[in-house]
A and B are shown apart, each in its own frame.
Chain A
């Protein structure tokens, strides 16, 4: 029973490059959430997606960041033209239900992005 999978686990990019982070939810889960964790800080919500839909992107910066969850394949968080301040751990979580009902969210192992 595979849990939430994320890859890559570690990603190093130079300033100005693009970063693509992937998340495969738990089997049977169709709700995906992305959170960012800065060093020694809590987790901050970025975006909530269901298959082919963005439900809530209120926590995502308006520029350079985008997310998708296609009908087939993993959810992808894309950061264009990365800057040093983007260095953080990015976690995704998945749940079986969502919308107005908050189901248990299970977290993946995270992708640690380092921008040089």
Chain B
């Protein structure tokens, strides 16, 4: 089955800096890659997603890039703010059924 690795497990940045979180996946048939943000005690919330027919997608301060050949995708957050502090999860899906396989998460801490 699919396996998703996520790095780093923790990331500390200063407000205004950029943050990059990277994920690799194992199943070349995967074609959908969402990113979720989860605040403490809350539900995971979708922040951006990308399908395998595009290489990059941007939404204001957030962007995701996908390299299908290398089987990795990354989340980029620019101009970080303290409210960006949360755990971020990448996931991969597709090929067989629409279930999501998640990475273990990255705890992002943005210091004022």
Contacts and interface: CB of A to CB of B under 8 A. Distances in A.
B98 A48 contact: yes
Contacts of A91: 43-44
Contacts of A99: 97-98
Nearest to A106: B46
Contacts of A97: 98
B98 A45 contact: no
B100 A33 contact: yes
B32 A102 contact: yes
A109 B42 contact: yes
Contacts of A98: 97-98
Contacts of A107: 36, 43-45
Interface stretch (B54-62, B67-75, B78-86, B101-109): B101-109
B65 interface: no
A108 B103 contact: no
A48 to B, nearest CB: 5
A17 B36 CA distance: 33
Interface of A: 31, 33, 35, 41-45, 48, 55-56, 58-59, 91, 95, 97-110
